[in-house]
Structure 1
Amino acid sequence: MLYGGHVASQILTSINRLCVYYLKWVGHTISVKEFVTPPSVSAKRRHALNDLIKRAPREVSRRLGIPETSFRDHFERVHMSQNQKELAAIDAAYTSVLGPTTSDVTAENERGLLRRTLDNHMRMMVDTGAKGSKVNMNQMVSLFGSVAIDGKRMPLSITGKFLPSFLPYESNPRAGGYIPDRFMTGINPQSYFYLCIVGRDSLQHTAVKTADSGYLQRCLIKHLEGIHVKYDMTVRNSDGLVLQFDYGEDGLDFDYGEDGLDVTKTPFLRSNQTLEVVVANYSRLLNPKALSVARSIGQKQEVEEYSKKLEKWKKKKTSLIKEGRKGKSGFLKFSSKMGASLPAPDTPDTPTDTPTDTHTHGENGRSYKSIELQKQWRALTEDQRKKYSKNYKKCPDPVKSVFSSASNLGVVSEALDDLIDGYYYNHYTKKRLPEQKLTRDEVTTAVHMKALNALVDPGEAVGALCAQALGEPLTQMTLNTFHFAGRDELNVTLGVPRMVEILRTATKNISTPIMEVPFHPWVNKLQAQTLRIQLSQVSLHQVLRSLHVSVELDRDDHNNLHRRTCIRLSFLPYSEYKHTFVITPPQVLAFTETHFLPKVLVKEIQKSFKKTKAKMCSSVFERQRKEEEEKMKTGDKGEEATDNNEKKGNRRRGGEENDDDDDDDDKDGGDDDGTSSNRIKKKQEQDYSENEENNISDDEDDDDSKSHHQGLSEDEGIEEDRVEEESPEAGIGRGGERKRKAKVNPLEVEQRREAVLQCDPCIVDYSFDTNAQLWCEIVLMLPVSGGNYDIHSLVNHKSQTALVHSVKNLRRVFVEDKDQRLMLRTEGVNIMKMFEFEHLLDVNKLYSNNIHQVAELYGIEAAQRSIIREIRAVQSAYDIKIDFRHLTLLADYFTCEGIYKACSRQALATCLSPLQKMSYETCTENLKLALLRGEEENMSSPTANITVGQPIKLGTNSMHILQAIS
């Protein structure tokens, strides 16, 4: 762009011919020498990897908090219970232990190659982008490292072996998929087999990913195809809707080369080095005729006056800041004056023992005091407001927002003005005096002319360019990728799945929602960990010490045989988890007896009986149907009826001897009994039927499980309030030793026992530890027949999802150091909860990857920035660079209607072109709606013009050429 297109074409042709001639007699050969390292480097590599293999089991055990000698037992127990959370923790521990050493060895080997930089032909081929990558070279020179499938280590067989050649539950990292070998020295058969597995899995992902990424790019193009630049420099779609007043927020054009660097108009407006090129070519850039034309048009005088006004305000603001004074708006002055005397209003549901300032927040997160101040400010008259705003002057808008940069020389972005000032005072004036040939005004004019020539051209199809720039790199992403967000335990979905969530579905329920909130600088690690404990969820499984089940046969009052099942749950003593969990033994016991035992455990046992009973009823019905058919064939209805009655009587009498018919025997015995036990049996059958109706299908079971989790939070909250009233404690958590009740009084013991017995008729007895409240025992009277269940497995499985303590939508919470500052990271999002701890958390810097929640709480502009940040986060994992202008255009399109929409069929419903909607999806449906509504096609979209064979109205076709008539 400095010397024109003709000169650029000539130099490219010359370079091409020179390279072809060079390759004719040089060529490009990669030999073994490209991967050779000195003996000292190789010995250091072997020592580091051997030491890593030896100490890895010990480090992993330490991170898991278990002795090294009991690692295999722990691994076996977790594998047999299929506890996915614990399995993921083991994988994460291996990743965190192996990762640092692997990175160090790779970096050391790369620096220790005998052939470096351009002397290394392999490195030259990788760096130029011709073929290969650094990963391929590291696999040849250093090691393979960890291989994984869908973010997990190699799977275990049913015997606990990774491969037949490894011991069950082997702690050696090689068994789980860590390969410390390299291609240069060869790999063992187990490692080769693992590489084949991962390679096949990658091929499968590539095959599926091709369709996903291709369809996503098509969605982008169909939505963005009509977006272009108008002659007033605004960016609009084919319907005329304004998306941006300046393309990319500065109006400059750009393009990308294959290496991700700018190659056309804007690269010379990036840094001091690029501005030096512009200034050095001052005479060639400043065509006197073009400069005079640029200065003759526009509003030169008005621009200069406005620029002086803005500069004057900035100088005044700077002087006030140096003097220690800051200008305040009228509202801030009013708030400072009235806020001190305004008491915080009381709310009806404000708890008295809440942390500091947590009760001052309303539903939207703002304090009640700020809401009251806002109401009082709005109630003031205009004259009253002027008294507070008398000496306050608002900062004028930037020059570029008032005047057009296309018709006024010197109207550029503030960032470019700052770059010019920095270049002139920090770089240009530091040169020797003979080299300073230009004045400050000449340097500024040269850059301003370059910026004027770099403006985007009217008619440019920036929407299609954006779709191509975002869609093409999708092929470089993997199908299923998980990135560890600061911690090995907290992963974030990346790759194509995350791009689908952002660009195509715009779902509210994203797969891995996270939230980041920094702590205030004065918060120490102890306070941060206390808050983490308070926000972390606690399951019953985490505090369950042991389970004992005893079953014996017994008879009831009617001499019917039943299974008397005694279940005893023992809990950990408080001293073992008082610094880890926020709960207390009374809370654990209260949750168990009010929720887990009657509503979870008993209900699951009854489900197994209902499935058996349904099978029995269906077989009886089938038998009766066959008997009726036989009676119809023989015609002897009377005799058959008599025989049937005799058979039924025999079955009733034989039921006492046959265990399989105990359910029928209970029903018939109840017909002749008019006592209260009959009513109890009927109530039990009614409860059974209600449970059966509530669990017809597996899908309904899942829904019931969801409601079960919601119910846990409510129950847990009630019990917490009760315990807190008994043992109040100051602070944000319950980390210290608590005051517990010495003993439960007999009246309360009897009340709690009766409450459990009333929950279900099959519960015949209940007792618990009245001193330390560390165990409870429940006795169930269950039928002998039917019911395929394993109480040990049932309690182990259900206790993992039964939450004694939880915060809504928060699953796991971590505290980490980031940039020398403590950061709270959560799996799950609950922004409103974070406002309760603003005395510890810097909620002004809170961030979440759930774009919908950001839009609902912070506004659509915050969501627009969140979209840009999320796309960049996904692309940075693959070292993909996309210009900021593309991202701002896409985010503005997604949020232009005040809501967050994506490239879906529903989002295209607001398009005014029926042909464009029909060409996307559901052609017949859109055609029918267009006919019924009488929609008109204005032939402005590219799809509409292509459909009827007309040229699209973009680029050179965006204007009409008129012939001059003499």
Structure 2
Amino acid sequence: ARHRSGRALKTLAQRLKGKEGRFRSNLSGKRVDFSARTVISPDPNLSIDEVGVPVEIAKHLTYPEVVTEWNLELMKQLVKNGPSKHPGALYIIRPDGKRVRLEFVADREKIAESLQPGFIVERHLMDGDIVIFNRQPSLHRMSMMAHRVKVLPYKTFRLHLAVCPPYNADFDGDEMNLHVPQTEEAVTEAKILMQVQTQILSPRYGGPIIGAIRDFITGAYLLTKKSTMLRKDEVCNLLTAIGYEGPLPEPTVKKPEPLWSGKDIFSLLLPEDLNHVGRASICLGCEVCKEEKCEHDAYVVVKNGKLISGVIDKNSIGAEKSESILHRIVKEYGAEAAKEFLNKLSKLVTTYLSIRSFSYSLDELDVSEEVKKKIDKKNKEARKEMDELVHQFNAGILPKLPGQSLEDSFEIYAMKILAEARDSCGEYVNQYFGMDNSGAVMTRTGARGTSLNLGQMAACLGQQSVRGKRIIRGYRDRALPHFKRGDPNPEARGYVYSCYRDGLSPVEFFFHAMGGREGLVDTAVRTQQSGYMQRRLVNALQDLKVEYDETVRTATGEIVQFKYGEDGVDPAKSDHGKAVNVQRLIERVKLMIEKSKPAPPSYIEEKIEKVKDQLPPLLADELKKGLLNANLPKRGVDIVVEKTVEEYNFAKIEPGESAGIVTAQSIGEPGTQMTLRTFHFAGVRERNVTLGLPRIIEIVDARRIPSTPIMTIYLTGEYKHSREKAVKIAQEIVYTTLRDIVSEVYIDHVEGSIVIRIPEENLKERGLTLDELKKIIVIQNCKIKSQHKGGFITINVKPENPEALPKLFEKIPNLPVKGIPGIRRALVTFDKGEWIIQTEGSNLAKVLRIEGVDKTRTTTNNIHEIALTLGIEAARNAIIHEMKNVLDEQGLDVDIRHIMLVADIMTLEGEVMQIGRHGISGEKASVLARAAFEITVPTLIDAAVKGEEDNLKGVVENVILGQMIPVGTGTVELYMTIPSESQSSGETKNE
């Protein structure tokens, strides 16, 4: 059967399956009405919870408002305005359900007068309406937030800059979507749960994700610099901009003319009793901190709402910075205060920058002749080092790195020399640029860019690499036909001496384009992989929610965690992962109350004993420790204990919270920012370790064998303090076959024997003796003779049955000599005061049997192996540990509670299950949930054959059926007692 145009028809199966099929395209997600999409542009004068909507869109999107006696006049006016004049209305719906389209009504005055309470008017969007704003890809819950409408002219949505990080938006042509909730319930829910200020703290790490970016940071730095003094007219401008209505603050300097310091003006934004100590982003990390006497003014002190010292930059007000002033305001004064702070800050800084101005031009990249000479000298030195390296390589005297071939070792050394050269050149430039240079201001304050960017603009670009190696591909022995064959110079292999300021030569440009292309491909692949990982995570975890007994359960009621994250704390309500910041609390109470006699320890212990059951054990211990060292009087102790309990109860996760989805988002969203291939050369002790996104995917996939299995072996007693003994164990465990130690093996047909030649040093290196070797070979039914000659040992092996010769020849190289199968290499390293062995390859069960190995600490990164050897609970710990390590190494802050939940669901059934179609998602109870994920058709056929039922307890099933999903608001039902006739009449008589 074909379509009449001749194309093949879609089969029934094709209609159902895949991204374009019925399940994913039309049932799990649909096209919606009451939505708009256009380009976004910035507007610092809006509030962070507003969105500027073009008039044209406001006229097309409507909200059905019920006419009451209170809004009757307004509704009449809107109806009179009609569809083309804003604010107007498009339809009237009468109580009998009849719709009147105002566009076709000639006499709107008449129909307006006939409005009665109970009619519904579909009116234009107006200022103050609640709408939901979204930017794809929606990677976490802050990708859809509720904003208030502000109708503005022109044709773009206007957005406040501080809200860009959660949307990951910029203004180079991004488009965003706007949705108008259509019922009173939807509006209320959006208002209470989704408004921008309620989302300032990210559930991924419990720190602010909305905050100052780019210009606000630079501006705040310039405003709060020590040297910034403002005249009266400038101060008045700034105070007007932030809507300050109090008295003019006292000038910092009175004579010859009154001047105000920028710090004092900034202080007006801070709450009056705020106290904070921190370090600015420009802090150089001196060995001894001079604190408030810092000459760079990098030590930030706020006392009672006054900025005493330090400049304000990313570390104080930036987005995605925890423990900052902004973070303190959110935690201690609430979301509304933080919103006000950000609104005023942006107006203050924008106004200040328009007075002072801030620009960056080409001549700010110029460096002195002296610096240029230094850069030249450094590059020449690197070239010399490279020549020496090439010489050593060609002469074969280059020391090999453990476990690397000569060529690989050469490449690693070369990359190291050239990377050092580039870093030094960048360092010269960065030292030359002071804080009077706009580029340095932007990078050092954390507004934009890194010192590496500056170095590449003004010093040199450095080595361009493809797949972590220098550029080799191209012609025979050379990268391009413009070089001699085997040219040892760095530039022939992709080292770029030029900087962006001076421009690149054609060859350099070509190499740079090669390196850049790899970056693009990498990004595309990474986005795709991490997107799929997030989809699998969401599918596996979507039904997990917190119940009223504080447990986390699946849709079928299986318990996954007895208490969410082991302490029941919601990361989004925590203080950077802590339920209560006890130290801060004690410091605040100290300032609140007057000093008097400290409470005795017995009083403190008694107080804590009383509340012990209401707090997690760790928090109770921390509180006890803190109070015993705080010397607070009894009243102070009472306040601290009471506040701790109160804050802990606030930070607890709410029943109905969709813990699973938040977890999936918190792990999936940073996945996109991870590096795909990490060529991780930690110094020069080489172990290949898979890191970054591939390792995370490997863990959630529960692969049987990781791509780079490694072990960390700890030793006991005497072994850990002696390198010799550690080396001995290392030699014992490396799996060695004859092939690894022989230099040649051949058949001597005259003698009818096999000749094996072994360099003596090979035996020494592996800790072997000739007798051990002989014992291994004798087992194969043969006679052997051996002789020493010129540093070689020659062994003649003659089988008893001459016909077995060819078979024996094949067998001999693979004979195991010593060691544990699976362990390819072992490095002995010194770490934290003891010798440890790090291996490539893994075999936990056998390594633990070796004498001298610490069985309690030795570990591997193969999770299945841990589960087999040490049990499921150890495997859960290993999953948490491995994932946290990868995320920390990438510098991504993810709350440990999220990782725990993933580990708990993976190990729920008593064996490690993957997150995907062959694991958790494939074992779901609901047919619809399985069909909507992957392998749609077989699932449905199978379910039909078995006559399965779907209890519709989970999320996806209800989305497909268009019902309320059973999480959040959907977990709660309201009952209302309606008074009967007799009751109500009885009451009125009594009155």
Q: What is the Cα deviation at residue 263 of structure 1?
A: 8.0
2:653 matched to which residue of 1? 456
For 1:594-743, what aligned pairs fall within 5 Å after superposition?
A: none
**2:725 corresponds to 1:527:** yes
Aligned partner of 1:413: which letter? P
Out of 679, 696, 714, the position equivalent to 1:518 is 714
1:934 matched to which residue of 2? 947
The 1:741/1:509 distance shift into structure 2, 3 A limit, reads: closer
1:70 matched to which residue of 2? 395
Matched residues in 1 for 2:339 and 2:398: separation?
71
- Structure showing greater Rg: 1
Out of 651, 675, 678, the position equivalent to 1:481 is 678
Per-residue displacement from partner, 1:795-845 (whole Å, max 9, x unpaired)? Answer: 9xx999887655300112212222333221111001233224332x33321
1:890 matched to which residue of 2? 902
Q: What is the Cα deviation at residue 720 of structure 1?
A: 14
1:571 matched to which residue of 2? 757
**2:765 corresponds to 1:580:** yes
Out of 344, 352, 355, the position equivalent to 1:14 is 344
**2:911 corresponds to 1:899:** yes
Matched residues in 1 for 2:568 and 2:415: separation?
46
2:622 matched to which residue of 1? 419
8 Å contact from structure 1 (residues 915, 944) kept in 2: yes
1:114 matched to which residue of 2? 433
The 1:223/1:123 distance shift into structure 2, 3 A limit, reads: farther
Matched residues in 1 for 2:841 and 2:769: separation?
25
8 Å contact from structure 2 (residues 543, 954) kept in 1: yes
Aligned partner of 1:114: which letter? F
For 1:229-628, what aligned pairs fall within 5 Å after superposition?
A: 229-255=546-572, 269-270=580-581, 272-273=583-584, 276-277=587-588, 411-426=614-629, 428-429=630-631, 438-484=635-681, 487-503=684-700, 505-520=701-716, 522=718, 523-538=721-736, 543=741, 545=743, 571-574=757-760, 576-583=761-768
| Secondary structure in 2 matching 1:822 | strand
Q: What is the Cα deviation at residue 186 of structure 1?
A: 5.0
1:868 matched to which residue of 2? 880
Q: Which moved more, 1:412-421 or 1:953-962?
A: 412-421
**2:545 corresponds to 1:220:** no
What CA RMSD, in Å, does the superposition of the two structures yield over aligned residues?
4.7
2:524 matched to which residue of 1? 207
Q: What is the Cα deviation at residue 887 of structure 1?
A: 0.9
Aligned partner of 1:10: which letter? E
Matched residues in 2 for 1:54 and 1:488: separation?
24
8 Å contact from structure 2 (residues 577, 895) kept in 1: no
8 Å contact from structure 1 (residues 162, 175) kept in 2: yes
TM-score by length of 2: 0.56
| Secondary structure in 1 matching 2:679 | strand
Matched residues in 2 for 1:547 and 1:70: separation?
27
The 1:270/1:462 distance shift into structure 2, 3 A limit, reads: same
**2:515 corresponds to 1:198:** yes
The 1:758/1:520 distance shift into structure 2, 3 A limit, reads: closer
Matched residues in 2 for 1:229 and 1:544: separation?
62
Per-residue displacement from partner, 1:292-331 (whole Å, max 9, x unpaired)? Answer: xxxxxxxxxxxx99997998xxxxxxxxxxxxxxxxxxxx
Matched residues in 2 for 1:41 and 1:71: separation?
37
Matched residues in 2 for 1:242 and 1:7: separation?
39
Q: What is the Cα deviation at residue 140 of structure 1?
A: 3.0
Per-residue displacement from partner, 1:741-783 (whole Å, max 9, x unpaired)? Answer: 9999xxxx7x81554553349x9xxxxxxxxxxxxxx9xxxxx
| Secondary structure in 2 matching 1:207 | helix
| Secondary structure in 1 matching 2:836 | strand
Matched residues in 2 for 1:871 and 1:463: separation?
17
| Secondary structure in 2 matching 1:516 | strand
Aligned partner of 1:272: which letter? Q
The 1:249/1:113 distance shift into structure 2, 3 A limit, reads: farther
The 1:10/1:573 distance shift into structure 2, 3 A limit, reads: closer
Matched residues in 2 for 1:720 and 1:496: separation?
51
The 1:200/1:69 distance shift into structure 2, 3 A limit, reads: closer
1:355 matched to which residue of 2? none
Aligned partner of 1:941: which letter? G
Write 1 or 2 for the structure with the bigger share of strand. Answer: 2
For 1:79-90, what aligned pairs fall within 5 Å after superposition?
A: 85-90=405-410
The 1:952/1:509 distance shift into structure 2, 3 A limit, reads: same
Q: What is the Cα deviation at residue 514 of structure 1?
A: 0.6
Tell me which of the two structures has the higher relative contact order, counting C-alpha pairs closer than 8 angstroms and 6 or more residues apart.
1
| Secondary structure in 1 matching 2:549 | coil
Per-residue displacement from partner, 1:231-272 (whole Å, max 9, x unpaired)? Answer: 1111112221211122222212222xxxxxx88796683462
Matched residues in 2 for 1:178 and 1:492: separation?
26
In the alignment, structure 2 segments of 5+ residues that lack a partner are 1-330, 595-601, 980-991
The 1:467/1:758 distance shift into structure 2, 3 A limit, reads: closer
Write 1 or 2 for the structure with the bigger share of helix. Answer: 1
**2:974 corresponds to 1:923:** no
| Secondary structure in 1 matching 2:932 | helix
Q: What is the Cα deviation at residue 121 of structure 1?
A: 3.9
Aligned partner of 1:811: which letter? R
The percent of aligned pairs where both chains have the same amino acid is: 28
Q: What is the Cα deviation at residue 472 of structure 1?
A: 1.2
Matched residues in 2 for 1:565 and 1:831: separation?
44
Per-residue displacement from partner, 1:387-434 (whole Å, max 9, x unpaired)? Answer: xxxxxxxxxxxx9xxxxxxxx7862223323332343344x43xxx9x
Q: Which moved more, 1:914-923 or 1:871-880?
A: 871-880
Matched residues in 1 for 2:716 and 2:466: separation?
39
For 1:733-772, what aligned pairs fall within 5 Å after superposition?
A: 752=798, 754-760=800-806
Matched residues in 1 for 2:642 and 2:876: separation?
35
Q: What is the Cα deviation at residue 228 of structure 1?
A: 1.4
Aligned partner of 1:960: which letter? E
Matched residues in 1 for 2:648 and 2:793: separation?
80
For 1:848-863, what aligned pairs fall within 5 Å after superposition?
A: 848-863=860-875
8 Å contact from structure 1 (residues 410, 445) kept in 2: no
1:358 matched to which residue of 2? none
Matched residues in 2 for 1:25 and 1:720: separation?
94
Q: What is the Cα deviation at residue 949 of structure 1?
A: 0.9
In the alignment, structure 1 segments of 5+ residues that lack a partner are 62-66, 256-261, 284-303, 312-398, 400-407, 552-563, 592-714, 728-736, 764-777, 779-794
How many residues are aligned here?
Answer: 637
The 1:906/1:99 distance shift into structure 2, 3 A limit, reads: same
Matched residues in 2 for 1:495 and 1:832: separation?
28
Per-residue displacement from partner, 1:600-644 (whole Å, max 9, x unpaired)? Answer: xxxxxxxxxxxxxxxxxxxxxxxxxxxxxxxxxxxxxxxxxxxxx
The 1:512/1:548 distance shift into structure 2, 3 A limit, reads: closer
Q: What is the Cα deviation at residue 106 of structure 1?
A: 5.2
Aligned partner of 2:805: which letter? C
Per-residue displacement from partner, 1:108-131 (whole Å, max 9, x unpaired)? Answer: 654x24324xx5544554567654
Aligned partner of 2:540: which letter? H
The 1:171/1:860 distance shift into structure 2, 3 A limit, reads: farther
Matched residues in 1 for 2:624 and 2:864: separation?
40
The 1:19/1:152 distance shift into structure 2, 3 A limit, reads: same
8 Å contact from structure 1 (residues 479, 497) kept in 2: yes
